[in-house]
């Protein structure tokens, strides 16, 4: 992905030097999110560290962080499927770098590219768009719900419209799941930004109300659809990048970029994570969808490049809580 020297977002908070000592643990953070308000976090929680379960927590739902056993209980797991990624044509390859400053610059640049697309796109669909804020932290960060840690992975908070990203998350993806490359992280940010779009169309608050009405098993079905739709939106943004050029006139996407996103999607499905950490799979406990579905909906978003084809709820036989935006 060619990103160097491109514009960086100003909607940015650098909290890497914040001294966060107390104020709550994971339970406290998740505990006060009910009441049908829709307040919550969407994030990428990965077991044993903070990997990508790309997770949305409305109220008290969270998939990842800390000890997998304590979070998944007696979940079970299965093999994942991986679809073929669309091909890109560029030959050179850049990376997001290893230094903290470079990672900040990369994340801010990608965030701006996301804002550049979703601002005008939302207007076409009549969505009341507001630019979100990117918060980069190290280790721990204060949120509206308490202290969050890097174990939870990236997440989105509907109440303050901020995406939270720990500087070490790239290492977790690479070392634990073998997902490397700059577009891996671009995909992660695009997924979280997708949760922001869902928030702006009213889905976050609608999900909060549903959680009060449905059993955990039934609600999980909706949670899966919400996560898969965020993957779809990540694909939509990738389609836009296909035609975007840098200030130097070069294509932003390079050979292998989309394949990196596909690989990442294939290792963050509920089935893959459950299989990896417990040796079993229990589809009834899924909150983010299977690896095959994550790849499928990213590819569909990339194929269509619009919102009309992104009604995952209907595709899964559920009623869409807010309907599908149309131009």
Residue labelled with tokens 């700059």: 182
Determine, yes or no, domain membership for 256: yes
* Kind of pairing between the strands at 162-166 and 133-137: parallel
Determine, yes or no, domain membership for 296: yes
Distances (CA, A) of 45 to 57, 135, 169, 268: 10, 16, 10, 9
Confirm if 138 and 147 have CB atoms less than 8 A apart.
no
How many helical (H) and strand (E) elements, i.e. helices and strands, does the chain have?
11, 8
**pLDDT value at residue 97:** 56
Q: Is residue 48 scored above 50 in pLDDT?
A: no
285 is in which domain, residue-wise?
Answer: 12-73+91-315
Determine, yes or no, domain membership for 3: no
Determine, yes or no, domain membership for 147: yes
Half-sphere exposure of 11 (CA within 13 A, CB side): 17
Determine, yes or no, domain membership for 310: yes
Q: Is residue 245 scored above 50 in pLDDT?
A: yes
Tokens of 64: 């990842």
Determine, yes or no, domain membership for 7: no
User: What ranges in 92-181 are assigned the alpha helix state H?
Assistant: 100-124, 169-177
Number of domains observed in the structure of the chain: 1
Determine, yes or no, domain membership for 80: no
Determine, yes or no, domain membership for 168: yes
Q: Which residues contact 232 (CB under 8 A, 6 or more apart)?
A: 194, 297, 298, 300, 301, 309, 310, 312
- In angstroms, rounded to a whole number, what is the distance separating the alpha carbons of residues 5 and 10? 15
**pLDDT value at residue 285:** 87
- State mean pLDDT over 160-178: 89
**pLDDT value at residue 202:** 97
Q: Is residue 52 scored above 50 in pLDDT?
A: no
- State mean pLDDT over 92-119: 83
Instruction: Give the closest residue to 225 by CA, choosing from 122, 305, 325, 314.
Output: 314
Lowest mean pLDDT: which of 35-39, 106-110, 254-258, 306-310?
35-39
Distances (CA, A) of 306 to 232, 295, 310: 9, 17, 7
Q: Is residue 83 scored above 80 in pLDDT?
A: no
> Tens digits of per-residue pLDDT, 179-201?
888 999 999 999 999 999 999 99
Helix (H, G, I), strand (E, B) or coil at 127: coil
Given its phi and psi angles, is residue 164 left (phi above 0), alpha (psi -120 to 50 degrees) or beta?
beta
The structure's pTM equals 0.81
């Amino acid at each position: 992905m060619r990103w160097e020297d491109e514009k960086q977002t100003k909607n940015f908070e650098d909290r890497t030097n914040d001294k966060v000592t107390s104020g709550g643990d994971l339970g406290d953070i998740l505990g006060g999110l009910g009441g049908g308000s829709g307040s919550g976090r969407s994030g990428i929680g990965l077991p044993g560290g903070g990997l990508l379960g790309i997770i949305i927590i409305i109220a008290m739902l969270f998939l990842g962080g800390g000890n997998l056993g304590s979070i998944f209980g007696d979940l079970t797991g299965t093999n994942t499927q991986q679809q073929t990624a669309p091909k890109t044509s560029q030959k050179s390859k850049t990376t997001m770098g290893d230094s903290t400053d470079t990672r900040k610059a990369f994340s801010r640049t990608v965030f701006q590219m996301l804002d550049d697309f979703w601002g005008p796109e939302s207007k076409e669909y009549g969505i009341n768009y507001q630019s979100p804020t990117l918060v980069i932290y190290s280790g721990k960060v204060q949120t509206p719900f308490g202290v969050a840690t890097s174990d939870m992975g990236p997440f989105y908070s509907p109440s303050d419209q901020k995406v939270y990203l720990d500087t070490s998350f790239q290492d977790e993806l690479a070392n634990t799941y073998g997902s490397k490359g700059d577009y891996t992280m671009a995909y992660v940010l695009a997924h979280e930004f997708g949760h922001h779009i869902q928030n702006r169309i009213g889905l976050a608050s609608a999900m909060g109300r549903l959680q009060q009405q449905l059993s955990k098993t039934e609600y999980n079905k909706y949670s899966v659809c919400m996560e898969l739709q965020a993957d779809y939106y990540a694909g939509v943004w990738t389609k836009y990048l296909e035609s975007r050029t840098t200030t130097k006139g070069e294509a932003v996407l390079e050979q292998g970029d989309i394949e990196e996103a596909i690989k990442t999607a294939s290792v963050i499905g509920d089935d893959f994570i459950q299989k990896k950490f417990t040796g079993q799979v229990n589809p009834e406990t899924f909150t983010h969808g299977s690896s095959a579905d994550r790849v499928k909906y990213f590819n569909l978003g990339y194929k269509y490049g619009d919102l009309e084809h992104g009604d995952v709820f209907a595709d899964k036989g559920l009623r869409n809580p807010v309907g599908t935006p149309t131009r």
